[in-house]
Structure 1
Amino acid sequence: MSAQLQQKSSKPNSMASPAAAAGVTIGTSEDQHTPDLTAFVKSLLKEMEQRFQTMSDSIINRIDDMGSRIDDLEKSISELMEQAGVDEQPSAPAGAQK
């Protein structure tokens, strides 16, 4: 039985290429460029992530600044209303007055 296994294993694979059957490795340009492409994609993704983080931080800072400005505006309006002696009551819509 071991003789049959040796005969089968010594036969070249009919599906393998002639170069592979001969034990020759042929490097394709695709194989050579794969590491370069991987490095490029990683670099590009890292750069995009940094830009996204910078933009995200900028947007959050602007929202925080806008919130502070709104708070200051509400405070100023309240002070002006107190000085004018006006009660803080919600006004009716302009079309609802009779």
Structure 2
Amino acid sequence: MKPTQTNFKFDYALERLKPWLPIIQGVLQQTQDRFQHMSDQIIRRIDDMTKRIDDLEKNISDVMAQNQIEQQQP
């Protein structure tokens, strides 16, 4: 194939795709937005679980400390 034929076919294909480009860009943007939303939710849930684990560890430490105090009392 000659370079001009290749360029012509590429240009022709590009022209045929132009009406679809906004639709494709819209779908890609929606997909990106959904992934970002899911990512944000996951990060919030991880942060929440981290806080809960920290609270649980503190409560366990408090219970253990209280238990030691009670065992030391006659």
Report TM bin, short chain: 0.7 to 0.9
Distance 2:70 2:34 in 1: 54
TM-score, L = length of structure 1:
0.58
Post-superposition shift, 1:30? 1.2
Distance 1:29 1:57 in 2: 44
Distance 1:30 1:46 in 2: 24
TM-score, L = length of structure 2:
0.75
Distance 2:69 2:22 in 1: 70
Greater share of helix? 2
Per-residue displacement from partner, 1:25-83 (whole Å, max 9, x unpaired)?
Answer: xx832111111111111111001000001111111101100100000000000000111
Structure 2, unmatched stretches of 5+, are 1-7, 9-13
1:84 equivalenced with 2:51 (yes/no):
no
Distance 2:63 2:34 in 1: 43
Query: Moved runs in structure 1, 4+ residues, more than 6 A?
Result: none
Per-residue displacement from partner, 1:7-36 (whole Å, max 9, x unpaired)?
Answer: xxxxxxxxxx7xxxxxxxxx8321111111
Aligned to 2:47: 60
The structure with the larger Rg is: 1
CA RMSD of aligned residues (A): 2.2
Distance 1:83 1:51 in 2: 47
| Count of residues in correspondence between the two structures | 63
Sequence identity percentage: 3
Higher RCO (C-alpha under 8 Å, 6+ residues apart): 1
Q: What residue identity is the alignment partner of 1:83?
A: E
